[in-house]
Amino acid sequence: MTDEDITIDEKRVYDEKSGATTTYVATSAGLARVNVSDDIVGEFSLDYRGETVDVAADDRLAVATPEDVLLETADGFAETGFGPATAVGFDGDLLAAGDGRLARYDDGWEPIADIEDVRAISGGLVAAADGVYRTDGTSVGLDGANDVAADGDLLAATDAGLYYLANGWMQAREGAFLVVAAGDDRAHAATADGLFERTDGGTESGAGDDWVPVDLPVGGRIADVAYDEATYAVTEDGTFFADAGDGWRHRSLGLPGVVGLAVR
Domains held by the chain: number: 1
CA dihedral 99, 104, 109, 114 (to 10 degrees): -30
Query: Which residue did the predictor score with more confidence, 153 or 226?
Result: 226
**Per-residue pLDDT at 235 exceeds 60:** yes
C-alpha 138/C-alpha 248 separation (Å) is 39
- Reported as a pLDDT band with limits 50, 70 and 90, residue 19 is low
CA distance 40 to 171: 35
- Tell me the chain's radius of gyration from C-alpha atoms: 18
pLDDT at position 17, please? 45
Q: Is 52 left (phi over 0), alpha (psi -120 to 50) or beta?
A: beta
Instruction: Give the three-class secondary structure for 167.
Output: coil
Range of the domain at 148: 3-263
DSSP code per residue over 8-54: HHHHHHHHH-S-PEEEEEE-SSEEEEEEEETTEEEEEEEEEES---E
pLDDT averaged over the chain?
A: 90
Q: What mean pLDDT do residues 215-242 have?
A: 96
Mean pLDDT of the region 107-130: 97
pLDDT at 49 over 60: yes
Of the candidate ranges 18-27, 53-62, 223-232, the one whose mean pLDDT is the lowest: 18-27
**Predicted pLDDT of residue 25:** 98
CA gap 190, 76 in Å, rounded: 33
- Mean pLDDT across the stretch 94-116? 97
pLDDT for residue 221 is more than 60: yes
C-alpha to C-alpha distance for 153 and 7, rounded to whole angstroms: 38
pLDDT of the residue at 206: 47
pLDDT value at residue 209: 46
Its pTM stands at 0.89
As a whole-number percent, the residues of the chain with pLDDT over 70 amount to 89
Q: Looking at residues 26-35, what average pLDDT do you find?
A: 97
What percentage of the chain exceeds 90 in pLDDT? 80
Q: Residue 38 — pLDDT band, cuts 50, 70, 90? A: confident
| DSSP type of residue 3 | G
Lowest mean pLDDT among 32-36, 39-43, 170-174: 39-43
Q: What is the pLDDT of residues 187-211, one digit of tens each?
A: 999 999 999 999 974 444 444 448 9
Tell me, what CATH number does 103's domain have?
Answer: 2.120.10.30
Q: What average pLDDT does this structure show over 30-52?
A: 92
Q: How far apart are CA 155 and CA 137, in angstroms?
A: 18
Whether the pLDDT of residue 120 is over 90: the answer is yes
